[in-house]
Amino acid sequence: MKRILGMVGALALMSGMAQAEDKLPLTVQLKWVTQAQFDGYYVAKDKGFYDEEDLNVTIKPGGPDIAPVQVLAGGGADVVVEWMPAALAAREKGLAIVNIAQPFKKSGMMLTCRKDTGIKSPADFKGKTLGVWFSGNEYPFLSWMNHLGLKTDGGPEGVTVLKQGFNVDPLLQKQADCISTMTYNEYGQVLDAGLKPEDLITFKYDEQGVSTLEDGLYVLEPTLQDKDKVTALVRFVRATMKGFEYAAAHPDEAAAIVLENDETGAQTEAHQRRMAEEVAKLTEGSTGKLDVADYQRTVDTLLSGGSDPVITRTPDPGFIATVITDRAFD
């Protein structure tokens, strides 16, 4: 009897391995750590949307020492989640990186300032200290400062740039007058730390007319020459957008799924639920296809960046590939 049960177990294991081998493999590198910013990916995996597309998707969390563009260039992932300014800068430097889909329709980036600094508008930034993330996240900020005609060398006619860690301490400790925050993440951390909305003034990049696209999906050009990878990417994008739609409709469940995948144990349910609700505002209106007007706004913003622009010329047409979303949704 034991021998029969052992054979049944072995057959079941072999069957499961065969099914896994039948699925198309795909590895995605996230831009940051496991959190509800990426709930669409985790929901798609947890709810079986990737399975329904016969995909075997590996989701790799990011972090402060992980640059998605570098991971992609080094062959560490098939597709990465990245902000468009960083992707465009990499393209201009020679990396054959291509946008294949755009889950995020709006920008969640903003500067959050203490009102007691006297800042009431961007005109008051002169002479102030502003916290800025780097590793590719500085591009939208630098472009905005160039639009305002403010140098970032710390001179009296410009601003002092504080290289901000991935926390809100500089604002809490008054080391900076303003810091970089995302609507779905750090702004909530500031409030959790004890400051109230009436203590703060925020400047959303969207409202300042200098927003650039965030959280797009990017691959290398040779990937689009691989028939199996193209098929996998078509299925992946379709299932991922289904994941974002489900997460927007079920933020509590999405937050719970994210927490189940957080191996660090650092995230909290309340924070992830709030993040899921805010992220839904950024994906609202997105079909997964890159909107030409949104793309052009991003390019125009970056090109008109003064003496030190993020990009120096109009990107070549090869930066955008619609073949994946065309097949996924048409």
Would you state the pLDDT for residue 305? 67
Whether the pLDDT of residue 81 is over 70: the answer is yes
Q: How far apart are CA 310 and CA 304, in angstroms?
A: 9
Q: Which residue has the higher pLDDT, 328 or 14?
A: 328
- 126: CB partners within 8 A, 6+ apart: 150, 156, 157, 158, 159
- Residue 272 — φ and ψ, nearest 5°? -70, -35
CA angle 79–48–72, rounded 5-degree value: 10
Which residue type sits at 282?
L
Mean pLDDT of 230-257: 98
Burial of 16 (0-12, 13-18, 19+ CB in 10 A): exposed
Task: Identify the residue whose tokens are 């689009």.
Answer: 224
Q: What is the residue-averaged pLDDT of the chain?
A: 92
Q: What is the pLDDT of residues 192-201, one digit of tens each?
A: 999 999 999 9
Mean pLDDT of 121-142: 89
CA angle 309–315–319, rounded 5-degree value: 130
Would you state the pLDDT for residue 330? 82
Q: For residue 298, what are its two tokens?
A: 């991003």
Q: 24-105+213-329 belongs to which CATH class?
A: alpha beta
Q: Which region, left, alpha or beta, applies to residue 114 given φ > 0 means left and ψ of -120 to 50 means alpha?
A: beta
Query: Where in the chain are the domains?
Result: 24-105+213-329, 109-204
Q: For residue 254, what are its two tokens?
A: 């999405």
Mean pLDDT of 236-253: 98
Pairing status of strand 216-220 against strand 160-163? unpaired
Which residue type sits at 38?
F
CA proximity to 128, closest of 107, 143, 106, 111: 111
Least confident of 23-27, 143-147, 202-206, 312-316: 143-147
Q: How far apart are CA 23 and CA 51, in angstroms?
A: 8
Mean pLDDT of 163-180: 95
Which residues pair with residue 81 across a beta bridge? 217
Pairing status of strand 129-132 against strand 160-163? parallel
Q: Which residue has the higher pLDDT, 43 or 140?
A: 43
Q: How far apart are CA 253 and CA 246, in angstroms?
A: 9
Contact 278, 184 (CB under 8 A): yes
Would you state the pLDDT for residue 15? 46
Tell me if 24-105+213-329 shares its fold with 109-204: yes
Topology of the domain comprising 109-204: D-Maltodextrin-Binding Protein; domain 2 (3.40.190)
Contact 170, 179 (CB under 8 A): yes
Contact 189, 112 (CB under 8 A): no
How is 252-308 classified by DSSP, letter by letter?
HHHHHHHHHH-TT----HHHHHHHHHHHHHHHTT--BSPPHHHHHHHHHHHHT-TTS
Would you state the pLDDT for residue 301? 87
Q: Which residue has the higher pLDDT, 119 or 3?
A: 119
Would you state the pLDDT for residue 11? 46
Would you state the pLDDT for residue 325? 98
